[in-house]
Amino acid sequence: MIIGGKAVQAQSGKTLEVRSPVDGLTFEAIPRGEAADIDLAVAAARQALSGAWGKLSALERGRLMLKMAQHILDHAEELALLEARDTGKPMTTARNDMVVLARYFEFYGSAADKIHGEVIPFLNGYQVNLLREPLGVTAHIIPWNYPAQMMGRSIGPALAMGNAVVVKPAEDACLSCLRIAELALEVGFPPGALNIVSGLGEEAGAALAKHPDINFISFTGSNEVGVLIQQAAALNAVKCVLELGGKSPHLVFSDANLELAASTVVRGIIQNTGQTCTAGSRLLVQSDFYEEFLSLVAEKFSRVRVGTPEMNLDCGPVVNLSQQQRVNKYIAQAQQDGLKILAQGQIDPNVPNGGYYVTPTLFGQVPAEHPLAHEEVFGPVLAAMPFVDEAHAIALANGTDYGLLAAVWTENGGRQQRVAKALKCGQVFVNSFGAGGGVELPFGGVKRSGHGREKGFMALEEMSTTKTVIHFHG
Ligand code: ADP
């Protein structure tokens, strides 16, 4: 762990085993940080704000972040290998994750000296300045699906705005995050600017969320924990940004570019083995060409291959045993309920025994009330269903508790606009999906997908505050 600029173990000396999803074997140990370690990390962050970190100008902070972006790229292969071993993802995906991680530091490093306050016209004799200031100590609780990317997304804007950060990465995958914090020290981030404490969610994570000396929480993870985070934030009256997953739909109309839509739909659910908050896990298709489109999707879906990071196929294993059991349970339950499997991918026969592999599965004619149509599986399971017309498509799309993202597939310009406006979610893609990291694009949900915005310039606003200075000069 990194606390106050030093590499440390947990004060208790306890560790947690790290298992690789590739073969289920233990290959590493990480410190099991607890409340006492969180106390030290928050104190170190607080000190950094009144020390060397707090004294840096926006320009200097930005330069440090740009240096960090380059340092990440120089270590991209090492980080990607670590990420692939820890999460099981294909090497190509892991490598791409590091490019996106570096991009977060580049984007926010370049923005550090470009976000500024305002002068507000007021009564004669007054000068009113709106200052934009850091929040203070910001807490960042990171999920295991894209550990490195998520850390960059969360701390990039926080550091650019001059906050001092405490990161609690996920116990299931955090090796890249720990290494990123070391890299930050190497490029010269002052002690305490970036602290990281590994450990269990209910120990280190809970201690961080309820710490009385933090000023903000950024959380990406499950709905259940999101509620706990919001409760903890409420007790200390601090702001939080929550990103809690989704059940994102594709709305495919019969005038769509079928080939492009079909291949994008398949990629949108198998990416990262479906363990993506924005996974396109519902496929809504206009009924008059449902059969035709689904046979195209099924044909592509049946070509999906699952393997180890080195095999570098379409998907890797899922992250751990409980996730494997969860996904398999959804598939088994749907079959028991009589839902029809239209296609399945294949697990490479040469994957090691003991790994957490699941079979990508496409279900057809899923009724809107079936759990597969509205619960987040967080695995490579796609639920397809027909719709009759635009109004029906919108009703189905908006008919879950989630509202993170959606994609509309149609060549009709009016329909593109109407449907995009009617969808209740934080991002809508038209004739596209996902768009390569989208560091620049404000991102977040409505309803149970959470609130607040990450990415783009909006994250800089979320992770800062304003002060209105009203000066009477006569
Ligand atoms: P999942 O169920 O997919 O593992 P979680 O929401 O449990 O997702 O985990 C996301 C992040 O939240 C991880 O870093 C985890 O350690 C952390 N976490 C889990 N439980 C808590 C908690 N009670 N308080 C704070 N953080 C937690």
Q: Quick count: other Cβ atoms within 10 Å of Cβ 179?
A: 18
Contact 218, 158 (CB under 8 A): yes
Mutating to test ligand 1, I would choose from 87, 151, 197, 225 the residue with most ligand atoms within 8 A of its C-beta, which is 225
Closest ligand 1 atom, CA of 378? 3
CA of residue 307 to ligand 1 center, whole Å:
27
Contact 169, 205 (CB under 8 A): no
User: Among the options 34, 243, 376, 462, which is catalytic?
Assistant: 243
pLDDT computed for residue 363 by the predictor: 98
pLDDT category at 280 given cuts 50, 70, 90 is very high
Which phi and psi angles does 457 have, rounded to 5°? -70, -25
Is 425 part of the annotated catalytic residue set?
no
In what helix (H) or strand (E) does residue 230 lie, and over which residues does it extend? helix 223-236
Q: Which residue in 282, 288, 284, 381 sits closest to 327, CA to CA?
A: 381
Nearest CA to ligand 1 atom 15: 201
Mutating to test ligand 1, I would choose from 18, 32, 141, 200 the residue with most ligand atoms within 8 A of its C-beta, which is 141
User: Among the options 277, 376, 425, 462, which is catalytic?
Assistant: 277
Closest ligand 1 atom, CA of 171? 16
Nearest CA to ligand 1 atom 18: 201
CA of residue 176 to ligand 1 center, whole Å:
17
Query: Model's pTM, two decimal places?
Result: 0.97
CA of residue 22 to ligand 1 center, whole Å:
22
Closest ligand 1 atom, CA of 174? 14
Nearest CA to ligand 1 atom 27: 201
CA of residue 455 to ligand 1 center, whole Å:
21
pLDDT computed for residue 434 by the predictor: 84
169 Cα distance to chain centroid: 12
Is 243 part of the annotated catalytic residue set?
yes
pLDDT by residue (tens digit) across 357-399? Answer: 999 999 999 999 999 999 999 999 999 999 999 999 999 999 9
pLDDT category at 435 given cuts 50, 70, 90 is low
Contact 138, 151 (CB under 8 A): no
Nearest CA to ligand 1 atom 24: 206
Cα(111)–Cα(97) distance, rounded to whole angstroms?
21
Q: Quick count: other Cβ atoms within 10 Å of Cβ 443?
A: 21
pLDDT computed for residue 458 by the predictor: 96
Does position 255 have pLDDT exceeding 70, yes or no?
yes
pLDDT by residue (tens digit) across 299-327? Answer: 999 999 999 999 999 999 999 999 999 99
Which phi and psi angles does 69 have, rounded to 5°? -60, -45
CA of residue 140 to ligand 1 center, whole Å:
11
In a 3-state reduction of DSSP, which class is residue 277? coil
CA of residue 205 to ligand 1 center, whole Å:
7
Residues with CB under 6 A from ligand 1: 141-143, 168, 170-171, 201-202, 205-206, 209, 221-222, 225, 228
pLDDT by residue (tens digit) across 407-416? Answer: 999 999 999 9
Which phi and psi angles does 313 have, rounded to 5°? -90, -155
Nearest CA to ligand 1 atom 17: 201
DSSP class of residue 240 equals E
Mean pLDDT of the chain: 97
Does position 117 have pLDDT exceeding 70, yes or no?
yes
Q: Which residue in 350, 379, 360 sits closest to 23, CA to CA?
A: 350
pLDDT category at 139 given cuts 50, 70, 90 is very high
Q: Quick count: other Cβ atoms within 10 Å of Cβ 183?
A: 17
Tell me the HSE value of 200 on the side-chain side, using a 13 A CA sphere: 7
Cα(405)–Cα(442) distance, rounded to whole angstroms?
12
Domains present along the chain, CATH in parentheses: 2-244 (3.40.605.10), 249-438 (3.40.309.10)
Token pair 């990629």: residue: 267
Q: Which residue in 171, 142, 172, 174 sits closest to 155, CA to CA?
A: 142
pLDDT computed for residue 447 by the predictor: 97
Residues 6+ apart with CB under 8 A from 202: none
Two tokens at 239?
């702001």
pLDDT computed for residue 305 by the predictor: 98
CA of residue 42 to ligand 1 center, whole Å:
19
Does position 436 have pLDDT exceeding 90, yes or no?
no
